[in-house]
Amino acid sequence: MFVAWGPELGFIYNDAYAEILAGKHPAAFGERFQDIWAEIWDDIWPLVQKAMAGEATWQENLPLVMNRRGFDEQTWFTFSYSSVRDATGEVMGMFCAVAETTAQVLAETALRESEAKAAAITNSIDQMIWSTRPDGFHDFYNQRWYEYTGVPQGSTDGEAWNGMFHPDDQEEAWSRWRHCLETGEPYHIEYRLRHRSGQYRWVLGRAQPVRDADGAILRWYGTCTDIDDMVAAREILARSREELEQLVEERTEERNQLWSATNLLVAVVAFDSTIREVNPAWAALLGWPQAEIVERSYTQFIHPDDVEGSRVWADKLAEGESGEFENRYLSKDGTYRWIAWSVTASKGAFHCIGRDIHRQKEQAEALRAAEEALRQAQKMEAVGHLTGGIAHDFNNMLSIVMGSLDLLKRRMVEIDPRAKRYLEAATDGARRAALLTQRLLAFSRQQPLNPQPIDINKLVSGMSEFIRGSLGSDVRLETVLGAGVWRIAADANQLENVLLNLAVNARDAMPDGGRLTIETHNAHLDDRYVASEPGTLAGQYVLIAVTDTGSGMPADVIAKAFDPFFTTKAVGKGTGLGLSQVYGFVKQSGGHVKIYSEPGEGTTFKVYLPRLVGSEEPAFKEKAVASLPNGDRQELILVVEDEPAVRQFSVDALTELGYRVIEAEGAKVALQLLDENPQVRLLFTDIVMPDTNGAKLSEEALRRRGDLKVLFTTGYTPNAVLHNRLVNDGVAVLGKPFTIEELAAKVREVLDT
């Protein structure tokens, strides 16, 4: 309907369609505009005003109840107004176009209701529903899909599927989908889809195309159905392509095979305690054939002390519970074995699976006894701390005296005979005093020992398999047994305990696995070294080194590692007595134990036990001062060591051997000194140091000075250093502690090579 109005809003023109829309002939409208649409005049009047003011405006879908066919019906109209101007541009009226939009409004309402209905239906069912464009791009998911996958609400990005398919299913799922898009075949596939929990679950994906009259695909509609439980059940049941009867037969045969082949005790016991059926493992483990145990009460075979507890469990299980418990069962030979039971009850019977834990119980009891012995031994160690305190202090002073006398003897080339006798008498008195304090310390521990001659290589070889079994599958054991290793005199059982303690400690320091190396070889501890280790005598020893690649220990932990009851393990995971027992035994056996460790670099325990010799060859004897391979003042050596005391000893020893020496506590200063002193011939560096280790320092030093000689030193054993790849094969390594003789020979060897 088109209407034109003059300045006074009087009627000018109305087309014939007005009668159809408004139910009146144009002549019946009168001269006032509001007479036509009285019911919606309040909505129209602002539009009229704007049009008369020169603006164009409109209003969509105004509702109006009209009687055009003999009854009232709801209709909707859209009004559009524009100004009409004269030749001068003045507004002289307006033009109104009125379109009935009833059909459109009703159609849109029906569409919204249809969409809401469809959304309610798709969101109410327990399936994931989706749709795509003809090209396969996803543009709709129902609420269930978002809830299942955890994808943000409203996301329709098809690329998200890449991250949700199981990696093993992604290629097949996409390949099948592309094939269906090309051919129009229905999509049907099973694959694993990532659930919002992060786990992958099996789903059944299906999709059908919707086509137009010409057969062209308009859309794809698809569903995903969670069938994970069904797939799991299918995988358990479907073992062949036969019918259900054949499947049952196969499962029964499988059950019979498991029943016969397992080494677990399997039994069916009635609620009245009668044994109905047992598997052959009863005969193998307990000696009871089925004929001698079936139809008898299980209480006849339980240890008397366990009968009541087993009955209590039976009463609970009969009420529908399931549970696990332990008791002792009678073997046919009259002995009892510990069995751990897992039991469920159904259909008037207990279904029981028993596992032999007798050995574990024995081991647990043995462990309890060993821990008790360990605690007792540590009590004696604590007493030793009280009674041996004075002896320890006296040993410290003797170490100073003996070390000073040793240095004095080396520096006094020409000496008055009387002064020499006095010096020898003082040295002998100090040594005898040291032996006396050793006896006091041994007495304070009061540990009964049975020392016997031992071939340490045979002992380590014999224990290898036992130790390997204690380490677990993640820890690899390596043994490096030296050639011609001396024999020792020690208590073999206690020494085996020491090795086992150190191996278990190493295992606990390597929770993620690693390597354990046990080495043996001959060693000599000189006066210079023992001067800093109170209670240790200079002489010939057999060294047993136990090295792990674990977490290592900081200096404050090393300082307290042998203290009674000290442990870094969690509460209930250790008593803190193991290393104290190692320390007590080694000390009481006349030996020495030393820890070398750095955080993150593993740990080496070095156990020194005195060499066993005949009366004609004493283990501890005065060594003649030998001629050492000395250097000259033209040879400059750079010593790099982070431990001040060790660095000072190295500097003093090299200076005494005739070399010029400069020193650094770390890699940064060492490189500066190397640049400032091009005449440096040898870099003598510790391997394990904070910040930059010796291996990296040597790489950079050799990059700057290709002719530089390098000698490494370390508290770890050379074999462990190579096995743990701290340095490469073929480099020169001097193990700590080292004597002046060893230092002189090694330095000369490296410089002359």
| Overall average pLDDT of the 733-737 stretch | 76
Burial 40-71 (b: 16+ CB within 10 A, else e): beeebeebbebbbeeeebeeeebebebeeeee
pLDDT confidence tier of residue 191, bands split at 50, 70 and 90: very high
- Checking if the pLDDT of 275 tops 60, the result is yes
| Cβ-based neighbours of 226, under 8 Å, separated by 6 or more | 126, 148, 201, 202, 203
pTM for this prediction: 0.35
Q: How confident is the model at residue 14 (pLDDT cuts 50, 70, 90)?
A: low
Q: Residues 675-681: what's their mean pLDDT?
A: 91
pLDDT of residue 67: 67
Residue 529, pLDDT above cutoff 80: no
- In this model, does residue 361 exceed pLDDT 80? yes
Report pLDDT for 17: 66
SS3 of residue 73 by DSSP: strand
pLDDT band at 547 (very low <50, low <70, confident <90, very high): very high
Look up tokens 């008498």; give the residue: 425
Tokens 């300045």 locate to: 7
Query: Which two tokens mark 66?
Result: 């009209």
404 pLDDT tier (thresholds 50, 70, 90)? low
Q: Average pLDDT of 432-458?
A: 63
Give the integer Cα–Cα distance in Å for 78 and 96: 10
C-alpha distances out from residue 644 to 351, 367, 663, Å: 70, 43, 10
Q: How confident is the model at residue 223 (pLDDT cuts 50, 70, 90)?
A: very high
Over residues 291-342, the pLDDT tens digits come to 888 888 888 888 999 888 888 888 888 877 777 888 999 888 788 889 998 8
The SS3 of residue 521 is: strand
Percent of the chain beyond pLDDT 90? 18
- Show the tokens assigned to 600: 């993150």
The yes-or-no verdict on residue 137 having pLDDT over 70 is yes
- Tokens representing 563? 């203290």
pLDDT-derived band at 613, boundaries 50, 70, 90: confident
pLDDT confidence band for 615 (50 / 70 / 90):
very low
**Least confident among 135-149, 209-223, 250-264:** 250-264
Torsion angle defined by CA atoms of residues 620, 624, 627 and 633, in that order, rounded to the nearest 10 degrees = 70
Bridge partners of residue 5, in order along the sequence:
11, 94
**The pLDDT value given to residue 88:** 87
Task: Judge whether residue 5 has pLDDT over 80.
Answer: no
Other beta carbons less than 10 A from residue 475's beta carbon: 23
Cβ atoms of residues 676 and 693 within 8 Å: no
Question: Do the beta carbons of residue 593 and residue 606 sit within 8 Å?
Answer: yes
Listing DSSP states for 173-214 in one string gives HHHHHHHHHHH-PPEEEEEEEE-TTS-EEEEEEEEEEEE-TT
The answer to whether the beta carbons of residues 722 and 716 sit under 8 Å apart is: no
Q: What is the DSSP string of 697-740?
A: HHHHHHHH-TT-EEEEEESS-HHHHHHTTSS-TT--EEESS--H
Q: Mean pLDDT across the stretch 397-416?
A: 66
More confident residue, 395 or 53: 53
CB within 8 Å of 330: residues ≥ 6 apart: 286, 300, 301, 302, 303, 336
Name the more confident of 215 and 408: 215
Task: Tell me how many helices (H) and strands (E) the chain has.
Answer: 24, 27
The per-residue pLDDT for 299 is 87
Question: Could you tell me the pLDDT band of residue 617, with boundaries at 50, 70 and 90?
Answer: very low
The predicted pLDDT at position 440 comes to: 44
3-class SS of residue 130: strand
Residue 69 pLDDT greater than 80, yes or no: no
Q: Which of 470, 454, 511 is nearest to 366 (CA)?
A: 470
Give 575's pLDDT tier (boundaries 50, 70, 90): very low
Spatial distance between the Cα atoms of 340 and 711, rounded to a whole number of angstroms: 59
Residue 77 pLDDT > 50:
yes
Report pLDDT for 258: 66
In this prediction, residue 370 has a pLDDT band, given cuts at 50, 70 and 90, of: low
- Edge-first strand order for the sheet with 217-226 is 138-141, 128-132, 217-226, 200-211, 187-194
Strand partners, 715: none
Q: Give pLDDT, residue 362.
A: 80
The predicted structure's pLDDT at residue 636 = 93
Q: What does the pLDDT read at residue 468?
A: 85
Q: Which of 77-86, 348-357, 598-607, 711-720 has the lowest mean pLDDT?
A: 711-720
In the 8-state DSSP scheme, what is residue 611? B
As beta bridge partners, residue 240 has: none
Report pLDDT for 728. 65
For residue 131, the one-letter residue type is S
pLDDT score for 457: 92
Does residue 406 register a pLDDT over 60?
yes
Mean per-residue pLDDT of the chain: 79
Between 526 and 385, the higher pLDDT residue: 526
CB atoms closer than 10 angstroms to residue 94: 26
| Mean pLDDT value across residues 195-204 | 92
- Number of neighbouring beta carbons within 10 Å of residue 543: 23
What residues contact residue 736 under an 8 Å CB cut-off, 6+ apart? 596, 646, 713, 714, 715
Beta-sheet strand order (sheet of 709-714): 660-664, 636-640, 680-686, 709-714, 733-735
Higher-confidence residue: 523 or 126? 523
Q: Return the structure tokens found at 445.
A: 């521990």
Residue 443 has pLDDT above 50, yes or no: no
Domains of the chain: 2-107 (3.30.450.20), 125-232 (3.30.450.20), 248-356 (3.30.450.20), 452-610 (3.30.565.10), 636-752 (3.40.50.2300)
DSSP state of 138: E
Residue 572 scores a pLDDT above 70: no
Given a cut of 80, whether residue 599 has pLDDT beyond it is yes
CA angle 129–133–137, rounded 5-degree value: 80
The highest-confidence range among 13-22, 52-61, 507-516, 566-575, by mean pLDDT, is: 507-516
Nearest 5°: CA angle at 244, between 239 and 250? 45
- For the segment 688-703, the average pLDDT, to the nearest whole number, is 86
Q: Enumerate the β-bridge partners of residue 220.
A: 132, 209
> How high is the pLDDT of residue 387?
42
pLDDT recorded at residue 671: 92
* pLDDT of res. 418: 79
**Between the ranges 25-29, 232-236, 445-449, 576-580, where is the mean pLDDT highest?**
232-236
- Alpha helices by DSSP H, listed for 214-338, are 228-237, 244-261, 281-286, 290-293, 307-318
Question: What average pLDDT does the segment 603-618 reach?
Answer: 77
d(CA 196, CA 488): 66
